[in-house]
Structures are given as C-alpha cells and as structure tokens.
Amino acid sequence: MKRLAMMIGCMMLLASPAMAISEFGKQWKNEYLGDEADEDFKKNGRKAGCYVCHVKGEDKKKVRNEYGKALHEFLKAEDFPKEYIKDNPEEAKAKILEGFKKAGEKKSSDGKSFAEKIEANELPATDSGL
C-alpha cells in the first residue's frame, strides 16, 4: 500500500510540468492550426506534433530544436502548474500566447524570424529532424 501511495505521489509531481507542456501544445495548435490556417500547414503541424519544438529521435524532455529553445526563453513549464492553469485559464492562455509572440520575433538559423516562417506556412524550426 505504501508503494502505491508513493507511486501516485511521484506521478502527481511529474504531472504538473506535463500539464503545462500539453497546454503549450494545445495553445500552439489553437493559435496556428485553427480554421483560418492553410490546410497543408495544418496537416504538417499536426503531423509534427511535439517536434514543432523538439527534435525527432531525441529525448523530448531534454532536447529542443531552435524554435523550442526560443519558446523556452519565454515559457517555462514550472511557471504553469496544473492548479494555475485550471484556476486562471484565460490568464494562462494570454501568457502562453505572449510567449509565442516573443519567440516568434527570434530568428531561425535560416535568417527568417519564426513568425515569418509560420506566416509563410512553414514549420518554424529548421532542426527538428523531420
């Protein structure tokens, strides 16, 4: 019984960052892959999934591509605990979208800003491994 309680406790501790990260993904999809988005871009963005920010074949918890690194400058999972997102959904959304905007101003290795690439219906990172 103690083992079960400890295992559940550990899972709860690990759930908060995962909740924030899933919220980042959810908000990214809502913002960039919504009804107004180009159909091919939506298809590519959904297919990329986690690899919009991470590198395919690498540890998703540790390895971010250039876009993921830019986002990480402005969005930290620990700043968005599960309770905060649940209790303040609109505030959390606004902060996440602001982080997307700030990261979008950063330059990709190809010289374009991430926002320019997204606006041109391109996935933002050039080093995602896709």
At 61 the pLDDT is: 81
**DSSP letter string, 49-114:** GGGGTB-TTS-TTT-B-HHHHHHHHH--GGGS-HHHHHH-HHHHHHHHHHHHHHHHTSBPTTSSBH
pTM for this entry: 0.81
What pLDDT, on the 0 to 100 scale, is given for residue 45? 95
Render each residue's pLDDT in the chain as its tens digit; 130 residues: 544 444 444 434 343 345 558 899 999 999 999 999 999 999 999 999 999 999 999 988 889 999 999 999 999 999 999 999 999 999 999 999 999 999 999 999 999 999 999 999 999 998 776 6
pLDDT of residue 43: 96
Reduced to 3 states, what is the DSSP secondary structure of residue 113? strand
The predicted structure's pLDDT at residue 90: 97
